[in-house]
Amino acid sequence: MRLAGAILTLVIGAPVLLGAALTLATGFGWQPGLGRVDLGWEGFTEALAAPGILTSLRLTLVTGLGAAMLSLVASIPLARWLVTRQSASRWLTPLLAVPHAALAIGLAFLIAPSGWAARLISPWATGWDLPPQIVTLGDPWGLSLILGLMLKEVPFLTLMTLVAAAQRPVAEQMAAGRALGYAPGRVWARIVWPQLYPALRLPVLIVLAFSLSVVDMALILGPSNPPTLAVRILRLYGAPDPAQAVPASALAVILLAVMGASAALWMVGERAVARLGKALIRKGHRGVSRRNWSGAGLIGAGGALAIGSLGALVLWSLASFWRFPDALPADLTLKRWASADWAGPALTSLTLALVSTALALILAMLWLESEDRSGKRLPLGALIVLPLLLPQIGFLQGLTTGFLWLGLPPGPVAVTWAELLFVFPYVMIALAGPWRALDRAHLASAASLGAGPTRRLLRIKLPMLLGPICAAAAIGVAVSVAQYLAVLLPGAGRVQALATEAVALASGADRRLAAILALMQAALPWVGFALALAVPAWWHRNRRGLRGGVA
């Protein structure tokens, strides 16, 4: 067990702490490679004196807090609508599998002034023969960025709510509330959902941290001058002058402080909302029973935006010529697919995903098997949440410097290790529940027949847990393919993956190539989830008894 803990700490925890420490030291001016070892506040002074810094701070807070808050609010009626419709909730998974950058590119192609939405209503409804002079992308308040973040985070929080609801007697509580005369919506919002929120707190904080520090979606949908803090930091890191790493790291520290203050503010808001909810319950207003139009409306609006975004990607990837205001391209062809260089980035992304996911699975199994054999839980929960709660830009650049110190140059190995930091938490979360819920009677029977721990693992546990293992692997592939900064910074431009290439082309003139790369980025996770369903079904086709191993 100690060996497993040491390996996990060394592979997952140490790089994150090393990267954060080096970023902090650089922020205070420590650059031994340039002969600068004296610490000072000059980096923070320069960062805070930069033009537009207050606007960047405002944008970060508005988009981060706004996206997290609106996503949580939207998930409440949506979860109520889906909690009794299990078949409909399955459609959340394909949307969750779409990487942020791919969905952002599709949304940009949909809502841009010359996008598909404007083409569908022009000129017959608008009279537009040319793209209108309306700012729908990169607006100064970051509304398009908030919309893009909501498209990804609302399904995630809704799914987390459904998982939490499955562990409580929701139907009985809804029936009791209705028997007391309360409308269904009020029973859900004031009685059931508050009981589920403690299980949602960590996912909400993860969403908040991601929204405050997101880079790829902000590059595509957010304002560019001035941009959000995370984008500003990335630009400074990419400057030709290495001294700019000092104000960049100082801004990364400031961003971390902003995230901490936002999380504290969120906690205070939780208490205020809880008091307000109790006061409303004491008033006893039971409300009016009506259909859940808000949930149905959110399903319709979110589904239309998601389908429209993916549809715009498909049309642009096949378009030969598509002038405004035509609703559809003049001709559909595969010529751009044949001539575009998408196979190389796709193969790179696939290789990185397979290697990082395989390593994450091995580490997760090492963790869980060590717990089984020792009979105790490993006290390493922080390893799971630390990479998800810290801003990526806040430690990945420091981690890249740390890799150089260790003799690991920028390239595929460094990128794989960086991706592993984000793939492992999700794989661990997906696998831990089914692993710990495995019916121990099967293992006891095997032990009574003389099977040792290793044989029980290989012949009993792994075959019975093949389905959850494949599901965890599919999630790992989806997380890996979606990584942008983990490829860009440790790769130093030497690793061309789908995420980096698609984001680089998103604002360019070649929409067709950007659409092709975005579609390929979305296709890899879909293939992974399809295989996660097909492989266990095929493997267990003659072993139905192995499917019921979870107690």
Q: How far apart are CA 242 and CA 505, in angstroms?
A: 26
Q: pLDDT at residue 285 above 90?
A: no
* DSSP assigned state of 13: I
Q: pLDDT at residue 254 above 50?
A: yes
Distance set, CA 523 to CA 247, 396, 427 (Å) = 38, 27, 20
Q: How far apart are CA 210 and CA 207, in angstroms?
A: 5
Cis, bond preceding 490 (omega within 30 deg of 0): no
Q: How far apart are CA 246 and CA 256, in angstroms?
A: 15
Q: How far apart are CA 409 and CA 386, in angstroms?
A: 25
pLDDT bucket at 9, cuts 50 / 70 / 90? confident
pLDDT bucket at 292, cuts 50 / 70 / 90? low
Residue 546: predicted pLDDT: 63
Burial 72-98 (b: 16+ CB within 10 A, else e): bebbbbbbbbbbeeeeebeebbbbbbb
Residue 549: predicted pLDDT: 47
Q: pLDDT at residue 416 above 70?
A: yes
User: What are the tens digits of pLDDT across the range 203-215?
Assistant: 999 999 999 999 9
Residue 523: predicted pLDDT: 95
- Specify the 3-state DSSP secondary structure of 283: helix
* DSSP assigned state of 11: I
Q: How far apart are the first and last CA of the chain?
A: 25
Q: CB burial class (10 A; 0-12, 13-18, 19+) of residue 551?
A: exposed
* SS3 letters across 310-348: HHHHHHHHHECCCCCCCCCCCCECCHHHHHCCCHHHHHH
Please give the full DSSP string across 296-311, using - where no structure is assigned. Answer: HHHHHHHHHHHHHHHH
- Specify the 3-state DSSP secondary structure of 84: coil
For residues 77 and 292, the answer to whether their CB atoms sit within 8 Å is yes
Residues 6+ apart with CB under 8 A from 128: 118, 122, 324, 325
Of the listed ranges 17-31, 272-286, 321-335, 528-542, the least confidently predicted one is 272-286
Q: CB burial class (10 A; 0-12, 13-18, 19+) of residue 311?
A: middle
**Residue 383 carries which side chain, given as an amino acid letter?**
L
User: What are the tens digits of pLDDT across the range 105-144?
Assistant: 999 999 999 999 999 999 888 889 999 988 888 898 899 9
